[in-house]
Structure 1
Amino acid sequence: MSMTDAPTTSFVESPLRFDSLCAAFQHRVGAHPDRTALQLPDGSGVLTYGDYGRRVQAIATGLASLGVGPGDTVALQLTNRPEFHLLDTAVLHLGATPFSVYNTNPAAVTTGLLHNSDATVFVTEEAFLPVVREAVAGAPTVQRVITVDGGDADLTLAELEALDAPDGFDFDASWRAVGGDAVCTIVYTSGTTGAPKGVQHTHAGLLFGLDSMNLLCPISEAGRVVSYLPMAHIAERYISHYASLAYGYSITCVPDPTQLAAALAMTRPTRFFGVPRIYEKLRGAILAAIDGEQDPARKAGMQGALDAGLAKVRAEQAGEEPTAEQQAAFEQADELVLSKFRAKLGMDELEWSAVAAAPTPYVVLEFFHAIGVRVAELWGMSECVLSTSNPPNGRIKLGSVGYHLPNVQVRLADDGEILVKGPNVMCGYRKDPEKTAEAVDADGWLHSGDIAEADEDGYLRIVDRKKELIINAAGKNMSPAHIEMTIKGESNLIAQVVAIGDARQYVTALIVLDPETVVPYAANRGIDTTDIAALAEHADIHAQIAAAVERGNAKLARVEQLKAFTVLPVAWVPGGDELTPTMKMKRKVIDEKYADVIAGLYG
C-alpha cells in the first residue's frame, strides 16, 4: 500500500457536533467499547475504549475527591505511556485544565510553570520525582504529588482511583457541563527566544482544528497512530491524543523513543507525524542498509530502485508527467524493493504522513516520496496548531508547507510574515494580556513571526523566523535555515548545521555528526571507534563532511556559502543545552556556549 491510497471520503463524524472533547470521547466509548484504545510497543498493556472510559471515570472521581474541579489546573510530567491519556482525559471531564511539563526541564523552569498555571495537583513518574519535588517546593499552590508507578509520593495512581466520590459528585453531570469555551490545555512554548509562554486552547478551538484536519485528508475508520513525541508539544497532543478522543484511533504509546522503530513495525500506523529529525533518522536507516549490503547485485538493485523512485518524483516536482519508461521502472522498483522499504519502516499502511516543527531538508522529502511515502509538509505553531498543509490527495510541492486549511484564514503581511485568523488561534497567553495583544491584533490576526513566500498557486515556502534572519556586515539578509538545510541535505552523517554570520563579513558553520549514521558508516570502512570526538577528527569522516559542504555551497548564492566550518567533537541530544525537547536549536545558547569556537572561525 502506498500513500496514494489515502481515503477521499470521511468515515467518521465531524467533531463539531460535540460541545467538548469529553462529549466526543464518551461517544467513542459508547460506539466502540471493544476497540483497542491504548497499547505498548510490544502489544502488551492493551486497554479498550470501554476500559479507557471506566478508568477515566475512576480517576476523575479520585481527583474530584482531592478538590479538583472546573477551572483548576493539573500538571503532568510523564513519558508517552497509557496513563498519560487516562489522566489527561480524566482532568478534562472535571472541567479542569491539564498541561504537560517537558521531562528534561530543570526544577527552576518547572517551578515557573507551576506559578503561572496555579496547578494544584502534579502527576509524575518515580524517575522524575526528585526534580518534581524540588520544583514543587517553590510552588505553594501544588497540594498533592501523585505517581503512576510508586515512589515517595503523596498518592499512587492506584490509590487515587480507589478514592470514594465526594458528596454530591456526579461524573456524567461533570463532563456534560464542560463547554466549548473551557480551556482544554496550556502549552508552554519551548523557550528558544526567552521564558516559556502559556498558550491556552479551548475545547471548541481544538474541535475546529480536528474538523479541518478531517476535511484536509478524510479519516478512515479504526485508524492507528504511534505516540512518541513529548506531550508538552502541541503537535503530539493534537495528532495522537486529541484526535483519538474525536476519531477513536488506536494509540501505541512509546515511553522510550528508542522503541519507535519497533512501534512502527508493530503498529503499521495509518497516520504518522514526525519532526524532521525523525524522518532523517528513518531515511538514514534505509541508506545505511543499502550501504552495508555485502552482495553487490542486491546493493545495485536497491540503489537502482531508489533511483527509479527519485526519477519519478523529480519529473512530478517539475510539473511533468513521468514518461512511460519512468513509470514502468518505478512500478517494477516498487514491487521488488520500495514496497519492502516501506514495510521495513512500518509505513506500508499509511494514509497520511506529515512533517513540521522545523525546516526539512529537500533530499529527505524527496527520498520518502521516492519510496512511496507521500510526506506532506505542514505549518503551524503552539498558538494556532495546524494552519497550512500540502494536500495529501492533491499536488504536494516539496519544500513548501502548502496552503491554508479549510476554514482557516492565512495571509502574508507586507514584510512576508504569516498571519493567521480562525477558531484554531489560541484564546491567549495565560496571565499575560500584554504579550497576547502583541501576538494577536485587534482584528484577530495572529502574527506568527515566521516569514514566508507564496507561489502562483498560493503554496507557502517558509523563509525563516523573523528574529533569526542573518544580516551580514554588508547588510545582506540571509536565511540561516536555508543554508543549514542545503548543507545538511548533502550528507546523512550530519545531524545539525548551525550557520553563523550575523554582522560578520562571511558565513561559517558549526557541524554536529549523527551518531546513528556515522558509527555504522565508520564500521563499514574499518574505522575501529564509536567515539564521536574521535570520529569528528578522523580524516575519512572529515573528508566526507568537507565534500558535503562543497556540494552544498554549489547550490547556495555566493554570499550564503560557508567560508569555514568546524565539526564539533560532541553529539547534541533533545532537551540538552543546544536543542529543545522537540529538537529546535537554541541559537542564543549555542552562540554563547561555542563563542570561542566561533571566534576561531573568523580568526
Structure 2
Amino acid sequence: MSHTQTLIENRPPSVAALFLERVAATPDAEAYRYPVPRTSGEGPDAWKSLSWAQTAERVNAIAAGLIELGVRPEERVALASSTRVEWILADLGILCAGAATTTIYPQTNADESAYILSDSQSRVLIAENAEQVAKAVEKRAELPELTRVVAVDATGVETDDFVISLAELESRGAARLEKDPELIKERVSAITKDQLATLIYTSGTTGRPKGVRLPHDSWSYMAKAIAATGLVTGDDVQYLWLPLAHVFGKVLTSGQIEVGHVTAVDGRVDKIIENLPVVQPTYMAAVPRIFEKVYNGVAAKARAGGGAKYKIFQWAAGVAREYAKVTQDNFRRTGTASAPFGLRTKHGIADKLVYAKIREAFGGRLRACVSGSAALAPDIGYFFSGAGIHILEGYGLTESSAASFVNPGEAYRTGTVGKPLPGTEVRIADDGEILLRGPGIMQGYHNLPEKTAEVLEADGWFHTGDIGELSDDGYLRITDRKKDLIKTSGGKYIAPAEVEGRFKAICPYVSNILVHGADRNYCTALIALDEAALTAWAAENGLEGKSYAEIVATPAAVEMVDGYVQQLNEGLQRWQTIKKFRLLPRDLDVEHGEITPSLKLKRPVVERAYKHLIDEMYEGAREA
C-alpha cells in the first residue's frame, strides 16, 4: 500500500478537525485575502489578509454563537450569499459547531429559497445582505423551523429578535467562549465521519432541486485526495471567485485547508479581469464560459486593431494549437514535452507577439487553471495550452463532492478530464455510462429514497448519467450526458455538446448555442451572441447605436453567423451538420432560468421558451 493511500485512509473524520490541525500548525501564515471596496475615487480595491489564527478566532466565535442560538449537531444552518470571505468563515463556523450547511445561491428567488429552507429544515439562515434577508422575512410564516436570520452585511437591515447581524452573532459567541473555552474543541472531537456536513441543492435542469447529502468524511477525503495529487502546494496563491453554493467552489476550500496555501476570495465576476494582475494567482479554477470569454475578448481586440493584427492573432492561435498537440503527444510517448525546431521558432515569435500579453492579463504567475462543471471545447483548451496557460480539466458532480477526476499536472491531456483521484473507483457500464464509487459519493438525496435508489446501487456504485470512455492508461473522456444524446429520425446518434463546443472555438461572437435534432431528420441550432463582442462588430459594420435585438435581426448579422456555421459544417459528418439556425433576441441568463448559476445550459427550459423558433426551422421539413 502506497504512502498516499495510507494518508487518505487514515484521515480525520471531518474538515473541522483538519481546520483545527491547520491553525495549530501554521497560526501566523496568511490564510485568506479579501477586497475592501473603495468608497471614493478610481483604482483597484485594497486587499486585506487574515492569518490562520485570525480566521480561527472568527470561525470559533461564529460556531459558539450558533451553539448559543441552540443549534445542535447535524441541524441545518443555511447560507445564502455570494462568494466572499464571510461565506468561508460562516461555513467553517457551522461545521465546527457540528451542524450542517445548506447552500443557497443568492440568485435563487424567494419561492425556491423558501422551498430549500423548508425541505432542509434549516434552523438558522446566514444571509448576505438586506436583499437576502427580505426573502426569508417575506416567507417567515411558511418556515416554522427557522428561528433566526443572521445578516452578514447589516446595512439597511432592521434587526430584532428574528434578525441579528453577524457581528452580534460573533460577539455572543465570543462571550460564550470566555465562559467555556474548550467548547469548539469538544464539538469538533465529537463529530463522526458519517455525520451530515453539507446539503447542496442541485439546480436541477428539470423540476424542484434535490438536496444532496454529503457527510463530513467526503470533505476530509477530498482535502487529502487533492493534496495527494500534488497539484497544489503550500506556496500557492489561489484566486477563488466561483460560487461557493456550488460544489466545485466548496471543494476548493477543503483542499486549501489541508495544504495551507493563500486564497484570495472575491465572487464578483465583473472584477476578475481587474483583480488578476493585483492578486497574481498561481492557480485558479473556473468554468469553460470564462475561458471562452477571455478567448473571444482577445480575438475581438485583435480584430479591432485592424486586418494585420487580426491575421497575426489567427496565425498565433494556429501555432498555439499545433504546439500544444505536438508537445502533449510527445509527452505522452516520451515523457518530455518537446517540439521540432521549426515549430519552436514560430512558437517563440508568437509568444512575444501574442501569448505573453495573455499571460500578463492572468497576473503573470499562473501555473495552472482547473476547469470543470461543463466540457471545455478542445480547440480553446489547445489554444491556451500553447499560450502557456495550462488548463487542467476535471470532472465530478455534486453527488460526488465535485472532484472525482482531474488532469495530472504536466501529463495533462486536453479533451480529457484526467485520471480518478486516489481512492475513487471508476467503471464504464455496458451502455457507456460512467459509474463511480468512493468516499466522495453522497449518502443520498435528502428525503427522496426513491430518487436515491435510481442512481445509487446497494454496493456503492453511483450512476453519473454521463457517457464516457477510458484510455488504456486511465484518462477519462466524457462524450456526453446520457439524457442529452440525441437520435435523429434517421437513427443517427449525435452528441450536441461536441458540435456546440466546436462552434464556440470557431465563432468569436457566440455566447451560447443549443443544437436540436432529436427525432428530426436534420439538426438545427439556436444561437445567442455575446453582447460586448457583437456591439464591437456592429460598430465596424455600420450598425452603431443599435440594440442587441436590433443587431441580430439584421441580414448582415445573420450572414456573418452563417459564415461560421458553414465553417463548422465543413468539419462535421453529414448528419451532424447544422441545416438551419436562428439568432436569439437576447443572450441566455440565470434570471430567466435558462442557465444554472454555474453557467450550465438548461436545455428543456430554452427549448420550451423558443419552441416557435425550433418549429419554424422544421416547417415543411417532411420534404427535406
Name the residue aligned to 1:143.
Answer: 147
Give ranges in structure 2 of 5+ residues lacking alignment: 36-44, 620-624
Structure 1 residue aligned with 2:452:
436
In the aligned structure 2, how far is the partner of 1:272 from the partner of 1:438? 35
Please name the residue that 1:94 is paired with. Answer: 97
The residue that corresponds to 1:158 in the other structure is: 167
Q: Of residues 504, 508, 516 in structure 1, which corresponds to 2:520?
A: 504
Aligned residue in 1 for 2:582:
566
**Does residue 327 of structure 2 align to residue 310 of structure 1?**
no
Distance 1:359 1:31 in 2: 38
Q: Using a 3 Å threshold, how does the CA distance of structure 1 residues 138 and 453 change in structure 2: closer, same or farther?
A: same
Segment drifting more, 592-601 vs 262-271: 262-271
Give the Cα–Cα distance (whole angstroms) in 2 for the partners of residues 345 and 399 of structure 1. Answer: 22
**Distance across 1 between alignment mates of 2:94 and 2:546:** 46
Distance 1:468 1:55, change over 3 A: same
Shift of 1:94: 0.8
Q: CA deviation at 1:317?
A: 5.2
Q: 1:36 to 1:535 in 2, by over 3 A?
A: farther
Aligned AA (1:224)? V
The separation in 2 between residues aligned to 1:127 and 1:583, in whole angstroms, is 22
The residue that corresponds to 1:514 in the other structure is 530
Q: CA deviation at 1:402?
A: 2.2
Quote how far apart the aligned CAs of 1:246 are. Answer: 2.1
The answer for the alignment partner of 2:38 in structure 1 is none
Distance apart, 1:436 and its partner CA: 1.7
Q: 2-side partners of 1:238 and 1:139: how far apart?
A: 29
Deviation digits for residues 306-355 of structure 1 (CA, Å, limit 9, x no counterpart): 44323312323555852112123323433564233211122x32333221
Partner of 2:421: 405
Deviation at 1:194, TM superposition (A): 2.5
Q: In the alignment, which residue of structure 2 is the partner of 1:599?
A: 615
Give the distance between the partners of 1:565 and 1:326, measured in 2 at CA. 38
Distance 1:382 1:81 in 2: 21
**Aligned ranges for residues 21-420 of structure 1 at < 5 Å?**
21-41=15-35, 42-124=45-127, 125-150=129-154, 151-153=157-159, 154-163=163-172, 164-165=175-176, 170-239=183-252, 241-293=253-305, 296=308, 304-316=315-327, 321-335=338-352, 337-346=354-363, 348-384=364-400, 385-394=402-411, 396-420=412-436
Deviation at 1:456, TM superposition (A): 4.0
3-state DSSP of counterpart to 1:473: coil
**Alignment-derived partner of residue 4 in structure 1:** none
Deviation at 1:76, TM superposition (A): 0.6
Aligned amino acid, residue 492 of structure 2: K
More deviation in 275-284 or 426-435?
Answer: 426-435
- Structure with the bigger RCO (C-alpha within 8 Å, sep 6+) is 1
Deviation at 1:105? 1.2
Query: Please, which moves more after superposition, 319-328 or 440-449?
Result: 319-328
Q: Decide whether the 8 Å contact of 1:274 with 1:355 is kept in 2.
A: yes
Deviation, structure 1 residue 176? 2.4
Q: Give the partner amino acid of 1:500.
A: H
**3-state SS of paired residue (2:410):** coil
Q: Does the aligned pair in 2 maintain the 1:306–1:338 contact within 8 Å? A: no
Q: 1:212: Cα distance to partner?
A: 2.1
Root mean square deviation, CA, Å: 2.4
One-letter amino acid matched to 1:184: A
Equivalent residues of 1:281, 1:516 under 8 A apart? no
1:449 pairs with 2:468: no
Are the structure 2 counterparts of residues 530 and 52 from structure 1 closer, same or farther at C-alpha, using a change threshold of 3 Å?
farther
CA deviation vs aligned residue, 1:157-205 (integer Å, no higher than 9, x gap) = 1111121329867222122222322222111111113321111222222
CA 1:136–1:227 in 2, change beyond 3 Å: closer, same or farther?
farther
Distance 2:320 2:588 in 1: 32
More moved, 125-134 vs 433-442: 125-134
Shift of 1:575: 4.5
Distance in 2 of aligned mates of 1:513 and 1:300:
23
Q: 2:544 aligns to what SS in structure 1?
A: coil
CA distance in 2, matches of 1:145, 1:339: 48
Q: CA contact under 8 A between 1:379 and 1:389: conserved in structure 2?
A: yes
2:568 pairs with 1:552: yes
- Give the total of aligned pairs: 589
Rate the CA distance shift 1:43–1:378 in 2: closer, same or farther, 3 A: same
How far apart, CA to CA, are the structure 2 residues paired with 1:367 and 1:527? 31
Paired letter, 2:167 = A
Rounded Cα–Cα distance in structure 2 between residues aligned with 1:533 and 1:157: 44
Contact 1:272–1:352 (CA under 8 A) maintained in structure 2: yes
- Indicate if the aligned counterparts of 1:23 and 1:175 stay in contact, CA closer than 8 A: yes
Are the aligned partners of 1:575 and 1:581 in contact in 2 as well (CA < 8 Å)?
A: no
Residues in 2 aligned to 1:315 and 1:73: alpha-carbon distance in whole angstroms: 51
Alpha-carbon contact 2:82-2:105 (below 8 Å) kept: no
Tell me, in whole angstroms, the C-alpha distance in 1 between the residues paired with 2:535 and 2:27: 47
**1:110–1:135: 8 Å Cα contact kept in structure 2?**
no
- Deviation sequence 1:229-280 (CA, Å, 0-9, x none): 22221000111x2222222232222242111112222212222111110111
Moved more, 205-214 or 187-196: 205-214
| Secondary structure of the structure 2 residue equivalent to 1:322 | coil
TM-score by length of 2: 0.89
- Within 2, Cα distance between the matches of 1:246 and 1:531? 49
Distance 1:81 1:218 in 2: 24
Deviation at 1:524, TM superposition (A): 4.5
Larger mean CA deviation between 229-238 and 280-289 belongs to 280-289
Q: TM-score, normalised by structure 1?
A: 0.92
Q: How far apart are residue 302 of structure 1 and its match? A: 5.2
Aligned-partner residue type, residue 266 of structure 1:
V
**Is contact 1:16–1:208 with CA below 8 Å preserved after alignment?**
no
Report the 3-state secondary structure (helix = DSSP H, G, I; strand = E; otherwise coil) of the residue aligned with 1:165.
Answer: helix
SS in 1 for 2:537: helix
Report the CA distance between 1:526 and its aligned residue.
5.0
Cα 1:577/1:44, change in 2 over 3 Å: same
C-alpha spacing 1:491/1:302, structure 2 compared with 1 (3 Å): closer
What is the deviation of 1:424?
1.3
Instruction: Verify the 8 A CA contact 1:312 1:326 in the aligned structure 2.
Output: yes
Alignment-mate amino acid for residue 350 of structure 2: A
